[in-house]
A and B are shown apart, each in its own frame.
Chain A
Amino acid sequence: MEYFSLKRSSVADGGAPNLSSKVYVRSTKSGKVQKIVRELYLRQDIPCSSNLCRACLQIAPTDYSKKVAPFVLSDTPAGSKNFPNGQYLVPDTNAFLTGMDLFEVETAFHDVIVLQTVLEEVKNRSLPLYHRLIALTKNEGKRFYVFFNEFRQETHVAREAGETINDRNDRAVRKAVQWYNQHIKQAISARSRKQTRVPSVVMITDDRDNLRKAKAEQIPAITLVDFVTGLENANELLDMISAAQDQREVRSRKTEVFYPEYYSISKMMTGVKAGTMHQGIFNVSPYNYLEGSVHVPAFDKSLLILGRENGNRAVSGDVVVVEVLPQDQWKAPSTKIIEEETLNKNDNPDVEDGENIVSERERKALQEEVKRAHGQSSEGRPQPTARVVGIAKRNWRQYVGHIDRDSVRSTSKSSRQQQMVFLVPMDKRIPKIRIRTRQAGELVGQRILATIDSWERDSRYPVGHFVRSLGELESKGAETEALLLEWDVQYKPFPKTVLDCLPTEGHDWKVPASLNDPGWSGRKDLRDLLVCSIDPPGCVDIDDALHARKLPNGNFEVGVHIADVSHFVKPNNAMDKEASQRGTTVYLVDKRIDMLPMLLGTDLCSLKPYVERYAFSVLWEITPDADIVSSQFTKSVIRSREAFSYEQAQIRIDDNSQQDDLTAGMRTLLMLSKKLKQKRYDAGALNLASPEVKVQTESETSDPVDVQTKKLLDTNSLVEEFMLLANISVAAKNYEAFPQMALLRRHGAPPKTNFEELGNQLKVKKGLELRTDSSKALADSLDTCVDPKEPFFNTLVRIMATRCMMSAEYFCAGTQAYPEFRHYGLASEIYTHFTSPIRRYADLEAHRQLAAAIDYEPLDASLQSKGKLEGVCKNINVRHRNAQMAGRASIEYYVGQALKGKDIQEEGFIMKIFSNGFVVFVPRFGVESLIRLRDLATPEPEADFDAENYMLKIKGDVGRTVELFEKVMVRITDEVEKTTGKRKVRLTLV
C-alpha cells in the first residue's frame, strides 16, 4: 500500500535541510492560549560581514539598487592580552544585560557580533536594554553587527529532546562562534597564504557551564570581568557592570529578609481583574519620602502608601499593584516633612546586619503620623491606605546624583579597593542607591549618572552601578547635563541621517521666483500683506506672524501666518522621526535644545522679516465687535515687514506719531484682541498665574547676574489671543475633516476634591468662598479672592489654584467623546496646537492634517492609524511635561547661582504648613522654599500645630506664630542642599 505522510519533513527528521520550525505557547491579552508553530527557512546567503571575507561579499543579498550592505566588522580588529591577533566579540545575553553600559563606552568594545539568538533573548528580558542595543548596532563607529544565526543553515541549532531553552540558546551561541572562527580562518587563507594574523572570534559569557563546554569544544571564551580587566581603564569600566549579578551570589548566605515577597504575576492579574487589587503608578511625595501615593481608577482620591515596608521596594515611577489595607489602618496624609537624609544619616552601605527595615527614627516619625490621624481636622480625614504587593512594570531609568561623602570609607585617590558607597539621587523621591566602586576617591564631589540594577528582599536600599561622571558638582556643564538627563531630554547633536533630510541649498534656499515652480502650486501669494511678527526679544525661531486690514464692508481681515514646517519635514523621514521623538524644543536659561535642526528652525522656516517665506495662513473676516464672519485656511507665501519684540511693538502702538498702515494694523489687532479676551473670560476662561521669572545673564559668560519677574504687556496678550483663535479654528476644521484622527488638546475639568483643601484654607483663613462648579464659577470666585491690603494675595491664590488643576494633554479625537474634548482653562469646546510647529511636534502634525483637510496634499499613512497617532500623543505629552520641568529646574539652578554669596531680605508668603515646618514663596525671585523648624533655632523648637486653622505656634526663643497666607520677611542666602547637591536658596525667618 502506498503511503504518504502528511507531515512536512524538516531538518529535525533528516528531511529538507533548509526547513526548521519552532513551537511555543502564546497567551493573548484576552486570555486565549495558543500553540504557535513558526516555520524557519534556513539560508546560506547571510554574510559574516567581516571585511576580511570575500566569499560572503559574493553571496550577500543585494538591495533594490543592486548593492550589498556595507560590511561592518573591521579587517584589523583590536587585540588584547589573550587574543593578540585581534578579536571579534560575541557576547551572550547576560553579558549584555549586566554590561550594557560597558558596551556603550566609546573607547572599547568595537567589532561586536550580536547574535540573533542573543538579541531576541535581550528583547524578552528587558525592552529598554534591547532598544539601547539596537541603537548601538546603528552606531557606525562601534561596528556592531547583528548576525542572524538562527536563519543561517550552518549555525541553526534545533532544540534537543529534554534540553532547556537556555541550554539550547547557549549551544546556539557556541555553534555560531565556532562557525565564525572556521569561516574567518578560511576567509583569510583564501585571501592570501602569507597572512598569519587570524583574529579570534571570542564568546563573552559569565555562565560557568557555558565556559566549561566552550573549553571542551575548543571555542575561545572569556568572562566579561576577565575581558574588561585586560583593558586600559579597567577600574572605571569594572564599575559599570551591573550589580544585579553578584548580588545574587551573595544573597544565598543571607537569611534576613526586610521586605515581603511579591505576589505571582498570575495572582496579581487575577486580583486586578477582580478588583481586589489595583494597579497604578507609584508616586512618592516630594516632602515626605516615606509617603507614596498611587492613583487608581477605582478611587477618587489616591491611595496612600506609608512607610518602606508597605512601599515594598517600589521606586517612584514604577507601575505597581497594591492591596488596600483594612480601614483601621487608614491614615491622613502627612503634615510633616520627613527627609531621608535627616533620619538615616548614619547608615553604612556595607554592613546590613542588625539593620531593620524601618529604622527606629523612621518608626517614630510614622507614629506621630498615626496620632495625628486620630485628631479631628477636616483636612486630616483618614484616607485609604494600601500596600504594594507586586510590580507590574519597573520604570527604572538612569539617575543623576552624587556620592554621599559620609558613606565613603577611604577617599584616597590612589586606593583601588572596591567599596560600597551610597549615591544620593538628585530627585528626592528616589531612595539612596548602593553602588560598588573602585574609584570612590575620584567620584566624591562629582555629578554622577547611575542606574538601579535590582532591589532584593534582603537589601534595604536598591543596588545599582556607576555609569559615568558628568563633572564637578555645581559646574555649569555638569548641572545642565544633569537636569537634561533627569528630564530625559535628548540633547545629543542631530545625527547625519537627520541632517541629510535638510534642503541641499542650505541657507541659500529661497522661495522660488517663478510662480510656475511646483513649490507655488496650491499656495496663495500673500506677499503684499503688511505682515509683522511679535516675539520675545532675541527670538530667532519665529513661528508666527500677523496682519490686519480693514475691508470695504467695515469688517476686518485678520491673518495669522504660521511657519510652514510641514513643507520641509516630510512624514516618516529621519528628521520627522527625530522630531517626533524629541516632541518639543526645550528652553533652558542659557540654552535651547531644538526639536528641528538649526537651519530650519532659525532660518528656512522662521518667518524672518524682509524675506519671503512659506507659511500656513489662517484668514478671518472679523466684525469690529470681534465676531468671526468666516475663516479660511491656505498655504501661502508671505514677506514679513518687521520683527518686533513685545516691548518694541508696544512702543510703536502707543506712539501716536506712527500713522503708517503697519502700525494701524497692529492697533486693529490690539483692539480686537482685547475684545476677544473679554469674550473668552465671559465664557469662563481662567486667568491663571504661575510664578515666572527671568534670569538675566551676562552675554559673554552667561553667568547669571539678576533675577526679575516677567513683565506682561498688552502686546503679549495680543499675540496670545490670535494664537488661541487660530488654534481653535484649526481644531474645528481638522475635527470636521477627520473626526477620528484629528490631533487635539484637551484640559480635563479638575475633580472637585482637588479644590477641597484650597477652598477650606480660604474659608478658614480669609472667609472667602471658592466656587468650583464650573470654570466660569471658578474664574469669578478667583476674581473675588482679593485682600485689599495685599495686592499679591490674588496672584498667590491663582498660583495655588493652578496647582489643583489637571494638566492639559494631546489626544486623538477618536479616543474620546466630544464633550471630553473641552479645554477647561480656555473654556473652549475644542482646541489644538497649530501655531508653533518649529518647536512643538503636535503643531507639525496639526499642519499635516489641516493641509489634507484643505486638499492641499493627501494625508500621510502615519496619520491614518489611530494606534500610531496615540503613540505620538503619549510621547509628546511626556516630552512636553519634561521640557517644562527641565526649564523650571534650569531657572531654579540659575536663581541659586544668581543669589550665590548674596544675603537679601525679601517679603514672602506662606503657602503650606506642616507640623514641623512651612513653605514660603518669594514672588520677587519666584522661588519656593521650605523652612523647617530646626532651621530656626537649635535645638529644634517645640511647636503647636493647629491643622484646622493652619497655624503653627512656635515656642521657645523664636516665640511666634505663623499661619497660612501670612506675609513674612525672609532672609535669603544660598546653600548647597545636602540631599541633592543642588545649590538652592535658603530662607530663614526674620
Chain B
Amino acid sequence: MAPAQAAHVNLSPAELSFLRSSLSQTPPIRLDNTKGPRDFRSMRAEYDVLPGANGSARIALEDGTEALVGVKAEVEKSRWRPAAGQQESMLTVATGDVMMRDDNEEEDESKGKGQNAWIEMSVEIPGFRDDDPLPVFLAAMLTESLLASGALKDRLYINRRFHWKLYVDVLLLSPPLSYPLALLSMTAHLALLTSRLPALKSEKDEDPLFDDDWDASVPLYPKTGKSTSIAQADKPPVIILAMAVGPNIIFDPCKEELAVADAVLAIACANATSSTTGARIVSIRTIDPPSHLTPPGIPNSMNSATGGTVPASSAEALTQRELLADTGVWTPPRGGMKRDLISQIVKMAVETGGVAEEVIGALQAIEVG
C-alpha cells in the first residue's frame, strides 16, 4: 500500500459526495464531462530536449503539470563477483568445456548478467525534499517497473568487466497538481525509448572503446529489426493509473476524482513480446486513495458541542460511524479491493486494443512522427 499524494483537495463533504455519485453513474460523468472513463487528459510531448543527455523527454499535461526526464549513461567497472558457474569453469579450463560455454555465450552473451544496481532513478518534485515519502516512493515504483522485465539491465552489460550505469533523472517542473506517477512514467518511457548509447568498437573483455560518431550510436531499446523479427522489439514499461468508483473503472483520474476513489491501482505495462497487439503486466501496486486519509467527519450525535455524547472508546466510535453510512452523507471508503475488480481493471489495461497498447502506441508515434 503506497502513501497518498500530498496535494490536498479542498472540497467539502457535500461536493465530494456529488462528485462520487456522478462518477458512479452509468455511464459515469467525469469532472471533465467531455471525457469517457478510458480517456486520458490531453498532453504535449517532445523528446531530445536536453542535447547533452543520452536521451530525454518532456511531457506537459493540459492541467499544467509538466515533467522532464533525462537519461544519462556512464561506463562503470563491474565488480568481479565469483558466481558458482564461473568458479567451475575456472577449474576446468583445460577440459574444453570452456570453449563450448563460449560458443553458447556468443548468441546471447548478456542474458541474465544485468544487475539491479546498474539503474539509478532519482525523482525530484518541487516543494519536496529528496527523502520525503512521495519522491522516494515514486522513484521506487518507476525503478521497479523498469527492472521487472529484466531485459533492460541485461542490455547495459558491456563485457565481464564493464557495464553501463544508467541514471534516469526525473524532474517534475510544476507543483504536483495531480498524482504525478503516470505522467512521470510516460515521460521516462519516452526518454528511455529515444535514448542512445555510443557504439562499442572493442571486443570481448577489453577495456571498452567507443565510436566517436554520435550518429553511429545504438538505441538503448532496439527498433524492430532482423534480430527481433519473431518477437516484437522490447519497449520500456509505462505505468497506468486506474481507479474504481462504485461499479465504474476510470483511467487517468485527475486530482479531484482521485479524492473519491474507492481504490486506485498503478499498473506497469510493457508491450507484449509474443504478439504485436496487447500488452503485458510487469508490475502492479495499489495506491492508498487520498480519501483514506480524510479525517472522518463527526456526526452531531457524537459531537458534544452540538449536544451529542462523546463515544467512550474508539471501537464505539467506529460502530457509531458505520451506522451513519447509509444516511446519505458521503464517507471515505474503507478496506481493500475486491479480487475480481482488480482482474477487471487489469484486463481493460492489457487486452488487445486496451489502454496500455494505446498509450505505448501513442508514445511510440511521437518518436516515429
Contacts and interface: CB of A to CB of B under 8 A. Distances in A.
Contacts of A270: 202, 205-207
Contact of B212 (A24, A265, A273): A24
A23 B60 CA distance: 27
B54 A35 contact: yes
B43 to A, nearest CB: 9
Nearest to A6: B49
Interface in A1-31: 1, 3, 5-8, 21, 23-27, 31
A325 interface: no
Contacts of B203: 264, 266-267
Contacts of A265: 209
Nearest to A267: B206
Given A6-B49, A24-B213, A269-B206, A35 B198 contact: yes
B96 interface: no
B214 A25 contact: yes
Interface in B283-310: none
Contacts of A165: 213
Given A6-B49, A7-B49, A25-B212, A31 B44 contact: no
Contacts of B53: 35
Given A25-B212, A165-B213, A7 B52 contact: no
A5 B49 CA distance: 8
Contacts of A269: 206-207, 209
B13 to A, nearest CB: 33
Main secondary structure on B side of the interface with A: loop
Given A3-B60, A266-B201, A270-B205, A27 B49 contact: no
Interface in B195-211: 198, 201-203, 205-211
B214 A33 contact: no
A33 B54 CA distance: 11
A26 B198 CA distance: 10
Contacts, number: 81
Given A265-B209, A270-B205, 8 more contacts: A3-B60, A6-B49, A7-B48, A31-B208, A35-B214, A267-B202, A270-B202, A273-B207
A159 interface: yes
A870 B328 CA distance: 87
Top 10 closest pairs, chain A to chain B, by CB: A266-B202, A266-B209, A270-B206, A37-B51, A23-B214, A6-B49, A266-B206, A270-B207, A25-B198, A25-B212
Contact of B52 (A31, A35, A264, A267): A35
Contact of B75 (A5, A32, A35, A37): A32
24 contacts: A1-B42, A1-B62, A3-B44, A3-B60, A6-B46, A6-B58, A23-B214, A24-B214, A25-B217, A27-B209, A27-B212, A31-B207, A32-B74, A35-B53, A35-B54, A35-B198, A37-B51, A159-B215, A165-B213, A264-B201, A264-B202, A264-B209, A270-B205, A273-B207
B212 A31 contact: no
A23 B217 CA distance: 11
A26 B74 contact: no
Contact of A21 (B51, B74, B201, B211): B51
Interface residues of A, number: 27
B92 to A, nearest CB: 22
Nearest to B46: A5
Interface in B8-50: 42, 44, 46, 48-50
A37 B52 contact: yes
A202 B324 CA distance: 95
Contacts of B77: 31
Interface string B204-243: 0111111111110100000000000000000000000000
Nearest to B200: A266
Contacts of A37: 51-52
Interface string B94-122: 00000000000000000000000000000
B308 to A, nearest CB: 50
Nearest to A163: B215
Contacts of B48: 7
A37 B215 CA distance: 12
Contacts of A23: 51, 214-215
Contacts of B54: 35
A31 B75 contact: yes
A396 to B, nearest CB: 24
Nearest to B72: A35
B206 A26 contact: no
Given A31-B75, A266-B206, A26 B214 contact: no
B210 A25 contact: yes
A27 B212 CA distance: 8
A24 B217 CA distance: 10
A265 B67 CA distance: 42
Contacts of B215: 23, 159
B209 to A, nearest CB: 4
Contact of A266 (B52, B58, B207): B207
Contacts of A267: 202-203, 206
Nearest to A268: B206
Contacts of B207: 31, 266, 269-270, 273
Contacts of B209: 27, 264-266, 269
Pick the most buried of A3, A5, A37, A266: most chain B CB atoms within 10 A of its CB: A266
A269 B162 CA distance: 14
Interface in B55-111: 58, 60, 62, 68, 73-75, 77
A451 to B, nearest CB: 28
B212 A264 contact: no
Contacts of B217: 25
A723 to B, nearest CB: 50
Nearest to B61: A1
A51 to B, nearest CB: 39
B46 A26 contact: no
A1 B45 CA distance: 13
A265 B203 CA distance: 10
A36 B75 CA distance: 15
B59 to A, nearest CB: 11
B133 to A, nearest CB: 29
A33 B75 contact: yes
A25 B213 contact: yes
A25 B211 contact: yes
A644 B206 CA distance: 66
A197 to B, nearest CB: 43
A266 B210 CA distance: 9
A5 B47 CA distance: 10
Contacts of A8: 51
Contacts of B213: 24-25, 165
B156 to A, nearest CB: 13
Interface in A717-749: none
Contacts of A159: 215
B213 to A, nearest CB: 6
Interface string A189-202: 00000000000000
B80 to A, nearest CB: 13
A31 to B, nearest CB: 6
Contacts of B58: 6
A27 B50 CA distance: 20
B295 to A, nearest CB: 36
B158 to A, nearest CB: 10
Interface in A241-291: 264-267, 269-270, 273
B83 to A, nearest CB: 21
B62 A26 contact: no
A273 B77 CA distance: 13
